[in-house]
Amino acid sequence: MYAPAGVKISKDFPVPDRQRAWVLGSPGELKLVEKAVPVPKKAEVLVRIDAVAICATDLEIIYHGSPALIEGGLPFNKNFTPGHEYMGTVVALGPGVDEYRIGQRVTVEIHAGCGQCKRCREGMYTSCLNYGLNYGDVDKGHRANGFTTDGGFCEYQVNNINTLIAIEDKMSDEEATLVVTAGTAMYGLTELGGLVAGESVVVTGPGPIGLLGVAVAKALGAQPVILTGTRDNRLKIGLELGADHVVNIRKEPDVVAAVKQLNGGKGVDYVIECSAATSAVNDAVHMVNRGGKVCLAAFAHEQVPVDVAHIARNNIYVYGIRGEGKSATHRAEAFMRQKRFDATKIHTHTFPLDDLPTAIRYAKDRVDDAIKVVVKAKMNAVHKVAAE
């Protein structure tokens, strides 16, 4: 059984030496194999993964490779395990770790910065300047689980203690996987200034981040919160999560004019762009008032045209974010713990870990209006019926 030197374990949470793990072969090809259970080092713990949500970025990695970086290149055929939105139970402590206890339930952030570069010292660990340098003979200490190192489509994974967020026992596994999604939305609002009470906010794109962006903005006191998108069923969920108004852009010939009309005829204070649509960035900079701020939370797949002159003339600020930086997940978890919003409204399907390919298909093709799909290493009968 698992008993590495210097690692604290407990007989109450026995750990095997080997685990089931999905690995990425060629593009779009996942295989269920056995892997060694990793060993936590200093400032790390071993997490038994109880649930992991599928993110759109997981799909990008599985089918296209980018933005994952393994051994200096794309992750295909390198025994790489994707998946990054997971939660679980601490089952082993690396040397010197006393911040968490064995048996404690946690959810995780993706990024652990190197802790020594300029960005990490500024608290911008998701923009670590040593991103990806954890292969070959170079180990700068940075790891982004599911991007530069193995992720969560498996049974056990190592995490730096800086990536852990303790959760209440009454929070469900599925809800806990959504903390990082809410944390990304929180990070976007943090970078826009954080003090959004009474300010007008538009969220473009009712995907998981956009929907929880609505919830977080409303919980922070924004007024009004306007959600734009193309799917009425998702816009309806946005209303349930706190949006004051929704705009279906397929039914509006001029979304910018529609937004301004809903805001008393003037531009809004903030836009969080979560759609990655080609026209969305330019729409966003025209939605905000002079001196307004735009946060880009989505990865566009191509270069997008933007009216730079309009940005400069109107003193508009444009920010890009990656992930859930500056401990935003802790603030998001606090909101969820306080029941300021119900993140589970975006969870639609649960599958067993063994059936990950089906879960991926549901997420990728939006089968049965799937929004957030979760896989679990162990499922009871109720979950199985729900999944079917």
In a domain, 119, yes or no: no
Q: How many residues does the chain have?
A: 388
- Are 309 and 356 found together in one domain? no
- Are 161 and 194 found together in one domain? no
- Are 211 and 91 found together in one domain? no
In a domain, 92, yes or no: yes
Tell me how many domains the chain contains.
2
**281: enclosing H helix or E strand:** helix 280-287
Q: Could you tell me the CA-to-CA distances from 50 to 85, 118, 381 in Å, in that order? A: 11, 35, 16
- Residue 304: give the domain boundaries: 181-320
**For residue 152, what are its two tokens?**
């969560």
Q: Decide which of 320, 353, 375 is a domain's last residue.
A: 320
Q: Extract the runs of DSSP E, i.e. beta strands, from the chain.
A: 18-24, 30-36, 44-53, 85-93, 105-108, 111-112, 143-144, 156-160, 164-166, 201-204, 225-229, 245-248, 268-273, 288-296, 317-320, 347-352, 372-376
- Tens-level pLDDT at each residue, the chain (388 residues): 889 999 999 999 999 999 999 999 999 999 999 999 999 999 999 999 999 999 999 999 999 999 999 988 999 999 999 999 999 999 999 999 999 999 999 999 999 999 999 999 998 999 999 887 776 667 888 899 999 999 999 999 999 999 999 999 999 999 999 999 999 999 999 888 878 999 999 999 999 999 999 999 999 999 999 999 999 999 999 999 999 999 999 999 999 999 999 999 999 999 999 999 999 999 999 999 999 999 999 988 888 999 999 999 999 999 999 888 888 999 999 999 999 999 999 999 999 999 999 999 999 999 999 999 999 988 654 444 344 4
The pLDDT assigned to 1 comes to 81
Separation of alpha carbons 289 and 239, rounded Å: 24
- Are 23 and 160 found together in one domain? yes
CATH number at residue 205: 3.40.50.720
* Residue the block writes with tokens 């689980």: 145
Answer whether 260's CB lies under 8 Å from 267's CB: yes
In a domain, 67, yes or no: yes
In a domain, 187, yes or no: yes
In a domain, 329, yes or no: no
- Are 307 and 188 found together in one domain? yes
| Helix (H/G/I), strand (E/B), else coil: 156 | strand
